[in-house]
Amino acid sequence: EVQLVESGGGLVKPGESLRLSCAASGFTFSNAWMTWVRQAPGKGLEWLGCIKSKSDGETAEYAAPVKGRFFISRDDSKNTLFLQMNSLKTEDTAVYYCSTTYYYAAGRVDWGQGTLVTVSS
């Protein structure tokens, strides 16, 4: 069974940094492209970025609002995905989800339960 468990959320002040983690199990993490999506309170879903598998180059791509401030990385030895968030703004307040389309061809997208990040002074 696929499990994705995010952690690292919390309350931070504007301008500060935070690193989120997503622990993965139940699939071959090293072969998976991984994605971060967020949802501000009462708002819709926002794709933040993704990181390719090592065999596909392990490069990351980002949405414009976070490019240059957020960085996605992975540790395949620990089956863990990371989201480094720098220069946080109040508008970054949201629930942050990791997800994988590892089983997309079989009609599945797996999501974590989300972790709340609150940016407030």
Partner 1 sequence: EIVLTQSPATLSLSPGERATLSCRASQSVSSSLAWYQQKPGQAPRLVMYDASNRATGIPVRFSGSGSGTDFTLTISSLEPEDFAVYYCQQRSTRPLTFGGGTKVEI
Residue 38: which of 121, 116, 119 has the closest Cα? Answer: 116
**Which window, 16-24, 42-50, 68-76, 80-88, contacts partner 1 (CB under 8 A)?**
42-50
1 by DSSP, 3-state: which?
coil
Binding status of residue 62 toward partner 1 by CB under 8 A: yes
Q: Which one of 41, 44, 57, 68 is in contact with partner 1 (CB under 8 A)?
A: 44
The sign one gets for the Cα dihedral 35, 39, 115, 7 is positive
* Site pattern 9..28 for partner 1 (x: CB under 8 A): --------------------
Residue 24: which of 99, 95, 114, 84 has the closest Cα? Answer: 99
Where does this chain bind partner 1 (CB under 8 A)?
A: 35, 37, 44-47, 49-50, 61-64, 97, 99, 104, 106-109, 111-114
